[in-house]
């Protein structure tokens, strides 16, 4: 009886020892719970190379206009990447990739989500109306910034009118005056355009026999 109990204790101790060794080896193999940039690059060392998200042929079709003062001589394969996350919006040229040459520097913009984990993908841009938290590109990488473009009504996405939502982004361009790049008027020439009462003629038509005519509704939300 005692001998059997002793063998059972020995087996249990041996099993615990094996489990502890396995746990130690597992954690020792992954000292950091977040992949380094080098590890991420290993996922696709051919970032923006042939057989990757953008091929040589696609690069050849990317046009470039270098504005005055821009002395950036880097090739497309060396430029930082801006990723438009909202699939239905790419406000540049036909296609899904374009080179942008600003006054002092250049970059590549794309809507191709395959570049999400690339080391050169410096920022991800979200369109406010289309943003859904459950579709956010996680894990969020330490070297990437998030930017929000939201010029439409705040009622389109109430989540972004609350602190926990808006604080997800490093840079914002929204209807709020507190934004990094405010879009409070966007296409309106001046504030007087909204405040001045003016008569409007809709297509030069008078009211119909039923006494009806065209009308315009403006949705204004206090900022």
Q: Could you list the pLDDT tens digit for every one of the 223 residues in the chain?
A: 555 555 665 665 566 655 555 444 333 333 333 344 455 454 444 333 333 444 444 444 455 555 566 778 888 888 899 999 987 778 776 778 888 888 778 888 888 888 998 889 999 999 999 898 888 898 889 899 999 999 888 888 888 888 888 999 999 998 888 899 988 766 677 778 777 766 655 555 555 656 666 666 565 554 4
pLDDT of residue 219: 57
Q: What pLDDT score does 169 carry? A: 94
DSSP result, 177-207: TTSSS--SSTT-S-THHHHS-----STTPPP
Residue found by looking up tokens 């996350």 in the block? 85
Cα 150 versus chain centre, distance: 12
Can you give the pLDDT at residue 34?
Answer: 39
Alpha carbon 12 to chain centroid, angstroms: 52
pLDDT at 88: 76
- Neighbour-count burial for 95-119, b at 16+ CB within 10 Å, e otherwise: ebbbbeeeeeebbbbbbbeebbbbb
pLDDT, position 4: 54
Whether 62 contacts 76, CB under 8 Å? yes
Helix/strand/coil for 31: coil
CA distance 166 to 148: 9
> What ranges do the domains of the chain cover?
37-195
Cα separation of 67 and 106, whole Å? 10
Q: In this structure, are residues 146 and 139 in contact, taking their beta carbons and an 8 Å threshold? A: no
pLDDT of the residue at 144:
94
Q: What share of the chain is helix, strand, coil (3-state, %, to 5)?
A: 30, 15, 55
User: What count of residues does the chain have?
Assistant: 223
Q: Residue 171 has what pLDDT?
A: 94
């Amino acid at each position: 009886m005692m001998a059997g109990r002793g063998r059972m204790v020995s087996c249990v101790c041996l099993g615990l020892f094996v489990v502890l060794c396995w746990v130690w080896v597992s954690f020792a193999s992954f000292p950091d719970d977040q992949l380094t940039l080098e590890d991420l690059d290993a996922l696709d060392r051919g970032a923006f190379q042939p057989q990757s998200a953008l091929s040589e042929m696609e690069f050849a079709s990317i046009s470039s206009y270098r504005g005055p003062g821009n002395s950036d001589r880097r090739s497309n394969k060396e430029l930082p990447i801006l990723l438009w996350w909202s699939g239905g919006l790419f406000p540049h040229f036909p296609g899904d990739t374009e080179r942008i040459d600003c006054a002092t520097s250049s970059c590549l913009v794309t809507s191709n989500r395959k570049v999400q984990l690339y080391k050169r993908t410096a920022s991800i841009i979200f369109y406010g109306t289309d943003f859904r938290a459950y579709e956010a590109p996680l894990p969020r990488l330490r070297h990437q910034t998030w930017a929000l473009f939201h010029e439409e009504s705040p009622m389109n996405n109430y989540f972004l009118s609350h602190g926990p939502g808006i604080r997800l982004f490093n840079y914002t361009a929204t209807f709020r005056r507190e934004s990094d790049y405010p879009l409070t008027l966007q296409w309106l020439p001046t504030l007087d355009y909204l405040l001045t009462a003016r008569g409007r003629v809709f297509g030069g038509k008078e009211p119909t026999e039923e006494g009806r005519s065209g009308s315009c509704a403006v949705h204004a939300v206090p900022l």
